[in-house]
Structure 1
Amino acid sequence: MDWKEKAIKTLKDSLSPVPTELNELDWKSGLSCKTDRLAQHISAFANNKGGGVLVYGVNDDGSCFNLSREDIKTIVQKLGNIAKNNLEYSIPISHSVMKFNGYDLLFIYIPEQHDKPVVLRGHNIFDSYLRSAGQTVKMSRDQVKEMIATSKGVTFEERLALSDLTKGQILQYLDYKSFFELVGRDVPNTTDSIVNRLSEYNLCHGNNGIWGITNLGALLFARDLKDFPKLRGREVIVRKYSGKNNRSQEFEQHGTYGYAVGFEGLIDFIMQNTGKESIGVKREIIPTYPQIAIREFVANAIVHQDFGIKGLPVTIEIFSNRLAITNAGAPLNDINRLIDLPPQSRNEELAQTMFLLGICEKRGSGIDRAISAIEQMFLPAPKFTKGEQHTRVFLYPQKKFKDMIKDEKVSACYQHACLRYENGEYINNLSVRERFELTKNDSSIASRIIADTVEVGLIKPVDPETKSKKFMTYLPYYV
């Protein structure tokens, strides 16, 4: 797919069903007179994975309009001059005027650059920009350092968290017994054999008898994350509040162990503090949320966090009416497409290792499994939100149908359609009734939910020519 074809598809995705700007595309209603700001946009797209496109002829509300030939000429000339003269080095950009929904729009393509970060001319290396949550924002110093190292071929996971160690010290800092338990192997009898096996998984590196523990090794298997100053603030935090807001906190717990070592204990801790105690013949905790969903969403938050952003650790917040899971970094995929699109990770080696260790499920199936489990418990649909520097998912406890608002019903219907489509099925009146625990006599209510979801553009009829609403089937808008 060339850049033009991809740009048209991306623009279409950004305008429907809910108009929203994406990291790889920015709408423009006119040419800004602020040369520095235009240079920042070019810098951000040149630093963005896969580059990006400025689309002229799109208003802030997503409506389109025709551009005049004179406007097109002026925009192309000015942006070309900025790309050539206002950045640290000249950036080659391309343009094309293409029809979209009957309108002549100008597409300006800025390719990703190999030598990153791309800096504004006359500024220092820390005056670099990136795309986050559909916005052009200045990088933090840590994000700049991260991008420099990555552009040189050294990922965050490969860098050393501790260096100048002996093999014996490697075993003091890393919980190697947990590693061998997770990979299903017996612990070798010698230190050399243990460390060599850890090295095969890139958990440590050695050269001429001097060893170091990688960020990957420390993050996953640290006996105590405090032993690794470079990873300060990367522990998982769990907070519980006594009500619906954060004014009255019951406790705050900071994780001590590496993610792999402490993962099962973390999930059990969340389950215990969100469940309700049942006192009968035997005391037991009745789950408020499905364990599968909590496992997948917490694992996703760990894997997809942006290590270039400091002061925003993975955080689980427990309220009386919701559970919020937050990680640093805006989502790399459209939050409306998390079920069907293949996952993108900033930390591919971390994601792959957690999969090999059995902490994450098969790549790409986690969100599906989580939402399926939520449906089986008849809970409200989870809500995904994004900011410039964070991603957050909300889970909600059981709620009576009559207490659900319209948006909650629409979200649940849409996610239901996505799941069914991934299984090769469509939704209909019956399946929607089953999703909401409605009876056959409530078919008109199910029809109303479907109609509301169609109206906002999240689902569409499989066959619009079907006359009987009773036999009408629907699929997600993106199909």
Structure 2
Amino acid sequence: MQDKAKEKVVQNLDLLIDNLVSLPAETEYVEFKHNFSQAEEEAKDICALANSAAFHDAPAAYKIWGIEDSSHKIVGTNFNPKTKKKGNQELELWLRQHVSSNCYFEFHEIVRNGLPLVVLKIWPAFNQPVKYDNIVYIRTGSSTQKLETGSSRETELWKKIQKEVFEDQVALEDVAPTELADILDCNAYFDLLDAPRPQSPETVAHFFLEEGMAAAQDNGLISITNLGALLFARDLSKIPTVRRKKLRVLQYDGNGRIGALREREFSQGYALTLDSAIDYIDAIIPSRDVIQGATRVTRGAYPSIAIRELVANALTHQDFNMTGTGPIVELFDNRIEITNPGSPLVDVDRIVNDPPRSRNERTASLLRRLGFCEEAGSGWDKIIAACEHFHMPAPAIEIQQERSMRVTLRQTTPFKHLTPQERLDACYWHACICYAQGSHVTNQSLRERFDVKSSNAAQISRLIKEAIEAHLIKPVNPDTSPRYREYLPDWA
């Protein structure tokens, strides 16, 4: 299978080179070069080609070493991207550090007529213009130049880029309908929808085109979009635009990140891997025996439904435009941390009660239809309710430098061992969940939430007073007797 894939890449590169050398001249998104020049100049070209591809709505830009730029004659090159260095650093690593993180590119090597060529494929800029050392470059004809700030061309480039949605962008090109099932698990799509599997590859391709998981090309072949790759790829590692979006699960020995016990990457698309990832996490979290009635049962330290909702949220609502990072689940002896790239689109303090907003509408919509998540905003209700049922501290939500969102779950903790802040947080989220369900907080409901005996009601009364003073909750009717008083979130 690998040999067949390599052969197809070579064939596609042969066709690509034939098409490009037949152009009458270099374009804003195609450049030919005999040999490698200076790393700084090549980085500027990469930046300019990515921006020019976006500006001209091209599916990709290309730079090819080993072709004479004036005659387009194949002359070969002495450039080897695998061995080339900038100082003591590998060239590719240096390039990725100096061009902005929204730049995707990939080197390919090929031999034509016994002469070595290097093909650099560069995906169009998305989210914002690509920069080299914080400067934006673009192509004018066959020359690379700085993009003038405030120019009409800069305005037009931004308009082009902001129309682009990551899910709609091309992940792989030139795929025949008969090859689609080799890259995506098409049968899983129909099985998850409980729909019959079509027998014809063309019919299968039709459904993926209709879903936006593939796009038609002018040459009769199809492109797989990032949406299709993210959800149904058999191996995300083989698709450059999404290879860093794999879900990772790490388990540590102790409460720090020094000693890793095990690590696993889930390389398949999210629709293929979510269930197995949850099963894997459930299998390695601590468990204990509890008595339910007259029966002893084994229960995990964390509610499975909360883990499932949090992992599904991390996959669905991550910021795909942030490159070099993906969703990660980390398990420690005393907690689980679930992190995804990008900050949330809603105020964290109102995440239970505000209307839901999805950063990736196509992904969220399709995962909802496939039964993996909801767009009704009830996910956080389930997470909070599950934590309360397990008498755990409320989930802790952190926004890290506006680049990522981390949710931490801690194991069941008696009320007396909770920190003052953990008690206040749990009280606030209890008020939010009650409000979402059309009810109010009472001393009794908080005692049940914390598993506190009625004889210790005074502890809960003090917590309520502290929560009011902290402007987290307020009484529904201040004139009601304290014994029967009800409370709601302070913002309600």
TM-score above 0.5, yes or no: yes
In 2, Cα distance between the equivalents of 1:264 and 1:149?
37
Report if the CA contact (8 A) 2:285-2:331 is conserved: yes
Report if the CA contact (8 A) 1:174-1:217 is conserved: yes
CA-to-aligned-CA distance 1:410-433 (integer Å, 9 cap, x gap): 111111100111111110111111
In 2, Cα distance between the equivalents of 1:117 and 1:417?
40
Report if the CA contact (8 A) 1:202-1:217 is conserved: yes
Report if the CA contact (8 A) 1:164-1:211 is conserved: yes
Residue 313 of structure 2 is matched in structure 1 by: 300
In 2, Cα distance between the equivalents of 1:406 and 1:453?
10
Task: Choose from 121, 139, 155 the match for 2:165.
Answer: 155
| Counterpart residue identity of residue 218, structure 1 | A
Q: Secondary structure at the match of 2:202?
A: helix
Q: Does 1:364 align with 2:364?
A: no
Residue 24 of structure 1 is matched in structure 2 by: none
Distance 1:422 1:245, change over 3 A: same
Q: Deviation at 1:311? A: 2.5
Distance 1:259 1:150, change over 3 A: farther
In 2, Cα distance between the equivalents of 1:147 and 1:338?
31
Report if the CA contact (8 A) 1:243-1:320 is conserved: yes
Alignment of 1:28-427 (within 5 A): 124-125=135-136, 151=162, 153-208=163-218, 209-276=220-287, 286-388=299-401, 389-427=403-441
CA-to-aligned-CA distance 1:423-452 (integer Å, 9 cap, x gap): 111101111111111122111111111111
Q: Deviation at 1:312? A: 2.3
| Counterpart residue identity of residue 211, structure 1 | I
Q: TM-score by structure 2 length?
A: 0.66
In 1, Cα distance between the equivalents of 2:312 and 2:420?
30
Q: Secondary structure at the match of 2:330?
A: strand
Q: Deviation at 1:154? A: 2.7
Q: Deviation at 1:401? A: 1.9
Residue 15 of structure 2 is matched in structure 1 by: none
In 2, Cα distance between the equivalents of 1:147 and 1:276?
52
Q: Secondary structure at the match of 2:246?
A: coil
| Counterpart residue identity of residue 238, structure 2 | D
Q: Does 1:464 align with 2:478?
A: yes
In 2, Cα distance between the equivalents of 1:443 and 1:395?
26
Q: Secondary structure at the match of 2:377?
A: coil
In 2, Cα distance between the equivalents of 1:285 and 1:250?
23
Q: Secondary structure at the match of 1:309?
A: coil
In 2, Cα distance between the equivalents of 1:464 and 1:444?
19
Distance 1:454 1:219, change over 3 A: same
Q: Secondary structure at the match of 1:342?
A: coil
CA-to-aligned-CA distance 1:358-393 (integer Å, 9 cap, x gap): 100342111111111111111111100102211000
Report if the CA contact (8 A) 1:220-1:261 is conserved: yes
Distance 1:451 1:285, change over 3 A: same
Report if the CA contact (8 A) 1:272-1:285 is conserved: no
Q: Deviation at 1:344? A: 2.0
CA-to-aligned-CA distance 1:174-207 (integer Å, 9 cap, x gap): 0011111111111111111111112221111123
In 2, Cα distance between the equivalents of 1:183 and 1:292?
22
In 1, Cα distance between the equivalents of 2:214 and 2:458?
61
| Counterpart residue identity of residue 427, structure 1 | V
Report if the CA contact (8 A) 1:163-1:211 is conserved: yes
In 2, Cα distance between the equivalents of 1:316 and 1:207?
38
Report if the CA contact (8 A) 1:305-1:329 is conserved: yes
> Which structure 1 residue ranges, 5 or more long, are not aligned?
1-115, 127-143
Q: TM-score by structure 1 length?
A: 0.67
In 1, Cα distance between the equivalents of 2:160 and 2:315?
21
Q: Secondary structure at the match of 2:398?
A: strand
In 2, Cα distance between the equivalents of 1:206 and 1:314?
30
In 1, Cα distance between the equivalents of 2:260 and 2:207?
43
Distance 1:283 1:317, change over 3 A: farther
Q: Does 1:443 align with 2:457?
A: yes
Q: Deviation at 1:125? A: 4.0
Report if the CA contact (8 A) 2:287-2:301 is conserved: yes
In 1, Cα distance between the equivalents of 2:441 and 2:429?
10
Distance 1:175 1:147, change over 3 A: farther
In 1, Cα distance between the equivalents of 2:485 and 2:290?
46
In 2, Cα distance between the equivalents of 1:376 and 1:277?
16
In 2, Cα distance between the equivalents of 1:343 and 1:328?
18
Residue 428 of structure 1 is matched in structure 2 by: 442
Distance 1:189 1:336, change over 3 A: same
Report if the CA contact (8 A) 1:327-1:390 is conserved: yes
| Root mean square deviation, CA, Å | 2.7
Identity between Structure 1 and Structure 2 (%): 36
In 2, Cα distance between the equivalents of 1:297 and 1:254?
17
Distance 1:330 1:362, change over 3 A: closer
Distance 1:339 1:251, change over 3 A: same
User: Between Structure 1 and Structure 2, whose CA radius of gyration is higher?
Assistant: 2
Q: Deviation at 1:294? A: 0.7
Q: Secondary structure at the match of 2:261?
A: strand
Q: Secondary structure at the match of 2:339?
A: strand
Q: Secondary structure at the match of 1:237?
A: strand
In 1, Cα distance between the equivalents of 2:451 and 2:418?
13
In 2, Cα distance between the equivalents of 1:284 and 1:446?
31
